[in-house]
Amino acid sequence: MSGEAAPRPLALVTGASRGIGAALAVALAGAGHHLLLTGRDEKALVATEDRIHAGGGTATIAPLDLRKLDDIDRLAAATAARWDRLDLLVLNAAMLGTLSPLGHVAPREFEEVMLLNVTAQWRLIRAFDPMLRRARGTVIGMTSSVAPGRAYWGPYAASKAALESLLRTYADEMAALGIRVLVVDPGGTATRMRRQAYPGEDQATLKAPELVARRIVEQLAAGLAKGASRLELDRAGEPRVTAAMA
């Protein structure tokens, strides 16, 4: 880790090197959080950290490959040794995989998508659970409109359905302890993953990651209901909030 922490609420954002993760990290710093930035690309994490510092915020970078599951436990131990609590855990990092019929998906690729998009997310919740309990914190998980299932999106769709189930379960278990969960479906957003899924799409027609980040921060400021809530953004970025348990 590098950087000096300020006495601010602590937020950990995975996939903070670019896209929605980076934009949300910058927005949360602007809202008063100290950011713990994780991702595989250290150079890109430093760029996000520089944006935060330029805005008067504070951040710490922790380069991490979430597919190395034991490193998640080591990160949690190092974080707990420095901070007493974790106020916000943002589960943003994910991989798309190849869009193809289910019968054509390579077993190894299916396993890789599930490893990052499901198993690593559970390991993050498990590892940081004690710090979240102490803070009566919040978990944000990024989902997708394809989670119920869509042709050619099999592994990714299944992984997001599984993540939503994990988040609802954790919210139900932790409701009495004051931990809140926000499931976010950002809709079409100008990101690298979106370009991978729709290579011919004009990204100028999509909302920017910064708008998604702003809507999330606005929802946090407005307060979350007990248990799990769901934030969906339409193509223009207009929000719709519902109970994720419904």
Q: pLDDT digits over 179-204, tens only?
A: 999 999 999 999 999 999 999 999 99
Question: What is the mean pLDDT of the segment spanning 62-66?
Answer: 97
Q: pLDDT digits over 89-145, tens only?
A: 999 999 999 999 999 999 999 999 999 999 999 999 999 999 999 999 999 999 999
- Collect all residues with Cβ–Cβ distance below 8 Å to 157 and sequence separation of at least 6: 144, 146, 147, 148, 149, 150
Q: Is 152 a catalytic residue?
A: no
- Residue among 152, 156, 170, 198 flagged as catalytic: 156
183 phi, psi to nearest 5 deg: -95, 125
Q: What is the pLDDT of residue 246?
A: 44
Domain boundary assignment for the chain: 65-209+224-243
CATH for 65-209+224-243 (3.40.50.720, 3.30.1060.10, 3.30.230.10, 1.10.10.10):
3.40.50.720
Q: What is the pLDDT of residue 25?
A: 98
pLDDT above 70 for 2: no
